[in-house]
A and B are shown apart, each in its own frame.
Chain A
Amino acid sequence: MRKEIRLWSFPILSRAVGMAFLKLDPRKEIRNPVMFMVWVGSIFISAVFIAGVLQGVFDGFNLQIAIWLWFTVLFANFSESMAEIQGKARADALRAMRTKTIARRLLPNGKEESVPSAQLRLGDRVVCETGDVIPGDGEVVEGIASVDESAITGESAPVIRESGGDRSAVTGGTKVISDRIVVRITAEQGKTFVDRLIGLVENATRQKTPGEIALLILLSAFSIIFLAAVGTLWFFSDYSVKQSGTSAFITTAVLFALLVCLIPTTIGGLLSAIGISSVSKLIKKNVLALSGRAVDAAGDIDVMLLDKTGTVTLGNRMASAFYPAKGVQENALAEAALLASLADETPEGRSIVNLARRNYPIKAGSMTEIGGRFVPFSAKTRMSGIDFQDSKKSIRKGAAEAVKDWVRSAGGSFPVEVASKVSEISAEGGTPLAVARNNEVLGVVYLKDVVKGGIKDRLLHLRKMGIRSIMITGDNPLTAATIAAEAGVDDYIAEATPQAKLERIRAEQKSGHLVAMIGDGTNDAPALAQADVGVAMSSGTQVAREAGNMVDLDSNPTKLIDIVEVGKEQLMTRGALTTFSIANDVAKFFAILPAMFLGLYAVAGGIGPLWALNVMKLASPQSAVLSAVIFNALIIVALIPLALRGVRYRAIGAIRILRRNLLVYGVGGIIAPFVGIKAIDLLVHAIGLA
């Protein structure tokens, strides 16, 4: 899935060319007023040429202008096709997943029946066992299973999906590789996650984003103004011709050529490709933007809410230190804790084993070697541990209160210094775990939230981009503050309820901020829906995935940085190409206007005074007009790679970015066509086209 598509290869290019022709449909062209003007011009001049031929006049100049105007339209269509093909390749792969599977539907009486997946209805319950392909989007209502989601995420490691909790959503087309689950279907056929993805990448449902619309309006306004400038030029020229009694090179072909050169065809032609490729770029980063609007908004995000667990910290608490009770060796405490945790497969348990093995000279074999029986954690005892059959020795580790009761019931006592250590650890935001052997309290294990490596740098990067981070956690304020300080987030909300998250987002929005929220749980859903950019973790619940407007398939919360960058790059690419497009007009004026008025006030067939404006020293009026039109068409093709790749965003501050882009695309945009048109003119003249 993740394999790169080689864009500039023959099959893709030829397919894009074919699509470009199909897009000549006026119903499609009219959606972009700028290109529609070119389209109208192409038809008009073709008609003029054909009318000429019918009357026995073959006007090679008109033919060439017509051809190049058609090329201008086709090149713009081609750029859109190329962007779409990027997405299509992925859509085809997705569609392959949708192959008809046979679902095992559970009947109310508990029996199973086999039905094609297409016949599944909302609310149906289906059974999936090892090797089965999950027939549709849904929620696990029973059981736990590991699921291979590589078809969607490209991630080969299987993920755990279980009923209840925040990992209950499954996607149709993924494969169960162990155990058995019962899935309740939550999406109708044709509206599943995969269907939405296909629609999205195929551009079928892609709506123009507000930013794109605003720009298109501005570009259309430019086009109207230039239409007025070129249209009235015909009248002014008519006046000048009559007044001077000389002639001007003003034909419909020349006027349309001038118009097409002036209106911002470069950006107008590439605008749609930029939008599509932004969605594709996100897909490449394994983020699915479910609305183009969200991509637009992503560039503007200045506040980010992130869930603590799994985002700022590793998902689980880790043992970080042993604090022995008075008279107990640290080694002994470590050994006891190790023994109690040997068979404990919870992350906390494993972290105790690791800590003890790494830092203390303890030799302990496997459970069978030491002859112990594991006592698992239960909600009732709130402890886990080990019982040794031979020595009647028992070790327990657990919440301080539980261990205290256990020790007391065996006639022991809970030492004061251990109790104070327990409250000290709590105060620091850690979790104390008391360890006891029979009736003796050995000490405390300090379980700590471990801040993810590199998170600090990522947050710093965000801050440089102008984004403030707010950590959300269910922890008490003290714990939250400790972790916030360690991770370097700007602010935190402790003891957060779904309501509190929602309120905070509303408050930030009210004071003018654009907020991104990253979440996975069902209780995040309201906040995800309220946020301007709601990024749901793919591992999260179906509810969360529905509420957000982006889904991160890697379930990596710092992905937001990439999302913001793509949003910004999309805006910048639009801006750069608009600037370039408009800056180009200067040179085109100097190419076409002198060509038009070469003969004005010319004495006895000589050269008129306005030919002095031909600063590029173009060979002839015909060649000047043709060169400008050819340049205008070719520049679209030349800039397709830039449109698809995007202008790179760097967090170097707004003013420096602006200066840089103005220099490259503004000043560059003024100079480039002077060079380009001159070069084309030399060529056109050399091979005798005009």
Chain B
Amino acid sequence: MTTANWVQLVVSLGVVFAVAPFLAKFMTRVFEGERHILSFLAPVERGIYRITGVSAKQEMNWKQYLAALLVFNAFGFISLMALLMTQEWLPLNPAHIPNMSWHLALNTAVSFMTNTNWQSYNGEVSASYLSQMAGLAVHNFLSAATGMAAALALIRGIRNKASEGENSTGYRAPLGNFWVDITRTTLYVFIPLSIILTIFLLSQGVVQNFSSYVHGITLEGKDQILPMGPAASQIAIKQLGSNGGGFFGVNSAHPFENPTPFSNFLEWIAILLVPVAIPFVFGRMVKDKSQGRALFAAKTAVFAIGMVVVLVAELGLNTMTGGHGSMEGKEVRFGIPASAMWAEATTVVSNGSVNAMHDSFSPLGGMIPLINIMLGEIIYGGVGAGMYGMLVFVFITVFFAGLMVGRTPEYIGKKIESREVQLSVLAIIGQTVMILFLAAIAVVTKAGLAGLNNQGPHGLSEILYAYSSTIGNNGSAFAGLTVNMVFYNVTLAFAMLVGRFVVIVPVLAIAGSLGAKTPIPPSVGTFATNNTTFVVLLIITIIILAGLNFFPALTLGPILEHFLMLKGMVF
């Protein structure tokens, strides 16, 4: 790495880590309904409740909260699918883009509802401006807010005293109000941040217009179509809300999405900012900041390990280029370190936007993003999703720790008992088993193999990556796999639904069960969860529980490819 690379890495990380705690303070005030600098927007918030008929004071128990979340998502899914299948006849379609096929519309609608933003579609050829703005961009906000809401419900479950609910609202274990949570998250957090980022991106040359595509003749005399559209506004929320679905097909590698190293720098920060801030929000909301810091530390440690491996792998491990880094699949304006940094960031956060093709990374360099996703998108993770996903692992870790010290464990005063362990296990098992299961189907069926553009272990990596990415609700693709076909559109849509709801449902059930428990005062035997030992144990648990199961599959994918590369064989 050159000095400039080091400066880039340190400054980028420095900005994220410096800003996140302040953002967390602001977000906490928003979620708690306290006064904050954007409180002047409160009339807008009240107006929204009045129009929609939401009674903001009403607390929900976990079943009501879940019901609201599911209804909201179902409505979003149906309306988006309808929009995508009728866009040809609707306004704002200067490029005359046809309606999407049912399976592509299904895949895309699920993809945006679940905050995955997997792109079976190709923005410039299959989505109209209306679909992009009224469909995809709206869901970029709402799916991120949904994830945040589920996390808030779980945090309140950990924090609340059962008796509070019984007295004030008549509900056991009140978890807040879903409608209020998504409204506040969108109105006070994502819209303002998006506006700021959009302005910066415009300054760098990201397009924002309703023009028709521009046709031109290149120097070589060939026809070229330059796609246009309201990109900047959508890209801001795509990065901030851990969405990642590009306005254009090649995503953030496209010069109209991510034109300059500076826009790259800003977008990289935007990817990490909110997910990094959320552990601090957690610490503040449970009234013990050290708990938030501990989770932040665990996430950051795994993030750092991955970052080192990717950088080393991309800069020097590639024997095919004589030990020099490989520029294949990377944009010249970003270079190797910025591409590797992006790959690490976009996969630890379930963002999924790419500024380089992970498919072209060295085998081990490509394995790290894959592992990041396989761990369940909890190393920072998606907005909200990374928090509740992490807490599921915390519960299991705490259960182990309790066994090791001879005491039924508690986390922040709440006993973690059989029910919580069962539900946590369910949340993890569903994802892991489904990734392996769907990938196994794909590698032995004609339909599955039909999408492969690469052979050997590399092809296996591509398929594993596709299902990991969709189940992890990440949405980035390894590239090299053709997926716009019935088999992949449908199985991947199924994977995205499993990845989202087989986690959210148990998580909200845990929130309900924890919320109904009386907090236990700490005693000598209490096992502290805000120290290094716990952080280390948490990391080990994550690696063993989420990682070990993939070891056999990875052996036949990137690991085998690595050994073959050493023998001079590539795919």
Spell out A's residues near B (CB within 8 Å).
Answer: 210-211, 213-215, 217-218, 221, 224-226, 228-233, 235-240, 243-244, 258, 296, 299-300, 302, 463-466, 468, 510-513, 567-572, 574-576, 578-579, 582, 585-586, 589, 593, 597, 600-601, 609-610, 612-613, 649, 653-655, 657-659, 661-662, 665-666
CB–CB B406/A610 < 8 A: no
Closest 4 CB pairs of A and B: A575-B403, A568-B406, A466-B525, A609-B563
Q: Quick one: given A569-B406, A661-B404, are A224 and B433 in contact (CB under 8 Å)?
A: yes
Task: Flag B408-427 by CB within 8 Å of A: 1 or 0 each.
Answer: 10000101011001100110
CB–CB A465/B524 < 8 A: yes
Q: Give chain B nearest CB distance to A507 CB in angstroms.
A: 11
CB–CB A464/B524 < 8 A: yes
CB–CB A210/B417 < 8 A: yes
Spell out B's residues near A (CB within 8 Å).
Answer: 396, 399-408, 413, 415, 417-418, 421-422, 425-426, 428-429, 432-433, 436-437, 439-441, 443-444, 455-457, 459-460, 517-521, 523-528, 531, 533, 537, 540, 544, 548-553, 555-557, 559-560, 563-564, 566-567, 569
The CA-CA distance from A232 to B518 in the complex, in Å, is 43
Provide the residues of chain A in CB contact with B396, threshold 8 Å.
218
CB–CB B400/A579 < 8 A: yes
Q: A512-B521, A571-B403, A610-B555 are in contact. List 20 more A-B contacts (CB 8 A).
A: A211-B418, A221-B425, A225-B549, A228-B433, A229-B549, A229-B551, A229-B553, A230-B552, A236-B443, A239-B556, A465-B525, A512-B518, A571-B405, A575-B400, A575-B406, A589-B548, A589-B552, A601-B569, A609-B563, A654-B526
Give the tally of cross-chain contacts (CB within 8 A).
204
CB–CB A578/B528 < 8 A: no
The CA-CA distance from A513 to B563 in the complex, in Å, is 56
CB–CB A582/B544 < 8 A: yes
CB–CB A300/B533 < 8 A: no
CB–CB A463/B418 < 8 A: no
CB–CB A585/B444 < 8 A: no
The CA-CA distance from A662 to B537 in the complex, in Å, is 9
Provide the residues of chain B in CB contact with A609, threshold 8 Å.
560, 563-564, 566-567
The CA-CA distance from A570 to B460 in the complex, in Å, is 45
Q: Which of A217, A240, A579 contacts B556 (CB 8 A)?
A: A240
Q: Quick one: given A600-B560, A610-B560, are A225 and B429 in contact (CB under 8 Å)?
A: yes
Q: Quick one: given A244-B456, A609-B566, are A658 and B437 in contact (CB under 8 Å)?
A: no
Provide the residues of chain B in CB contact with A511, threshold 8 Å.
518, 520-521
Q: Give chain B nearest CB distance to A228 CB in angstroms.
A: 4
CB–CB A575/B404 < 8 A: yes
CB–CB A658/B566 < 8 A: no
CB–CB B429/A224 < 8 A: yes
The CA-CA distance from A586 to B444 in the complex, in Å, is 28
29 pairs from A and B in contact (CB 8 Å cutoff)? A211-B418, A221-B425, A228-B432, A229-B436, A229-B552, A233-B556, A235-B440, A236-B443, A239-B444, A239-B460, A244-B456, A299-B408, A468-B523, A510-B518, A512-B517, A512-B519, A512-B521, A571-B405, A572-B404, A575-B405, A589-B548, A609-B560, A609-B564, A609-B566, A609-B567, A654-B524, A655-B527, A658-B405, A666-B540
Q: Which of B408, B524, B526, B550 contacts A229 (CB 8 A)?
A: B550
CB–CB B456/A610 < 8 A: no
CB–CB A655/B460 < 8 A: no
The CA-CA distance from A258 to B443 in the complex, in Å, is 21
Q: Give chain B nearest CB distance to A516 CB in angstroms.
A: 14
Residue of A nearest to B457 (CB): A240
Q: Quick one: given A221-B429, A236-B552, A464-B524, are A571 and B402 in contact (CB under 8 Å)?
A: yes
CB–CB A658/B404 < 8 A: yes
Residue of A nearest to B553 (CB): A236
Secondary structure of the B contact surface, majority rule = helix
Q: Give chain A nearest CB distance to B544 CB in angstroms.
A: 6
The CA-CA distance from A597 to B563 in the complex, in Å, is 13
The CA-CA distance from A226 to B432 in the complex, in Å, is 10
CB–CB B456/A213 < 8 A: no
Q: Quick one: given A239-B444, A300-B408, A511-B518, are A658 and B537 in contact (CB under 8 Å)?
A: yes
CB–CB A610/B563 < 8 A: yes
The CA-CA distance from A244 to B175 in the complex, in Å, is 54
Interface centre among A568, A609, A654, A665 (most CB of B within 10 A): A654
Q: Give chain B nearest CB distance to A448 CB in angstroms.
A: 32
Provide the residues of chain B in CB contact with A218, threshold 8 Å.
396, 399, 421, 425
CB–CB A654/B566 < 8 A: no
CB–CB B405/A654 < 8 A: yes
Q: Give chain B nearest CB distance to A426 CB in angstroms.
A: 37
Residue of B nearest to A510 (CB): B518
The CA-CA distance from A215 to B409 in the complex, in Å, is 13
Provide the residues of chain B in CB contact with A649, threshold 8 Å.
406
Q: Give chain B nearest CB distance to A274 CB in angstroms.
A: 11
The CA-CA distance from A450 to B171 in the complex, in Å, is 52
Provide the residues of chain B in CB contact with A601, threshold 8 Å.
560, 564, 569
Residue of A nearest to B527 (CB): A654
CB–CB A597/B556 < 8 A: yes
Provide the residues of chain A in CB contact with B405, threshold 8 Å.
568, 571-572, 575, 654, 657-658, 661
Q: Give chain A nearest CB distance to B111 CB in angstroms.
A: 24
Provide the residues of chain B in CB contact with A238, threshold 8 Å.
443-444
The CA-CA distance from A214 to B426 in the complex, in Å, is 13
Q: Give chain B nearest CB distance to A265 CB in angstroms.
A: 16
Q: Which of A464, A593, A662 contacts B555 (CB 8 A)?
A: A593
The CA-CA distance from A610 to B312 in the complex, in Å, is 22
Residue of A nearest to B410 (CB): A512
Provide the residues of chain B in CB contact with A228, threshold 8 Å.
432-433, 436-437, 549
Residue of A nearest to B408 (CB): A300
Interface centre among A218, A597, A666 (most CB of B within 10 A): A218
Provide the residues of chain A in CB contact with B436, threshold 8 Å.
228-229, 231-232
Interface centre among A225, A465, A665, A666 (most CB of B within 10 A): A225
Provide the residues of chain A in CB contact with B555, threshold 8 Å.
593, 597, 610, 613
Provide the residues of chain B in CB contact with A665, threshold 8 Å.
404
Q: Quick one: given A214-B418, A218-B421, A300-B408, are A513 and B459 in contact (CB under 8 Å)?
A: no
Residue of A nearest to B564 (CB): A609
Q: Quick one: given A229-B552, A299-B407, are A240 and B560 in contact (CB under 8 Å)?
A: yes
The CA-CA distance from A238 to B439 in the complex, in Å, is 13
Q: Which of B425, B439, B525, B567 contacts A217 (CB 8 A)?
A: B425
Q: Which of B404, B433, B518, B569 contacts A225 (CB 8 A)?
A: B433
Q: Which of A299, A510, A612 contacts B406 (CB 8 A)?
A: A299
The CA-CA distance from A659 to B534 in the complex, in Å, is 9
The CA-CA distance from A210 to B416 in the complex, in Å, is 12
The CA-CA distance from A653 to B523 in the complex, in Å, is 10
Residue of B nearest to A300 (CB): B408
Q: Quick one: given A225-B429, A609-B563, A610-B563, are A654 and B528 in contact (CB under 8 Å)?
A: yes
Q: Give chain A nearest CB distance to B393 CB in angstroms.
A: 13
Interface centre among B404, B525, B527, B559 (most CB of A within 10 A): B404
Q: Quick one: given A211-B408, A217-B425, A597-B555, are A658 and B401 in contact (CB under 8 Å)?
A: yes
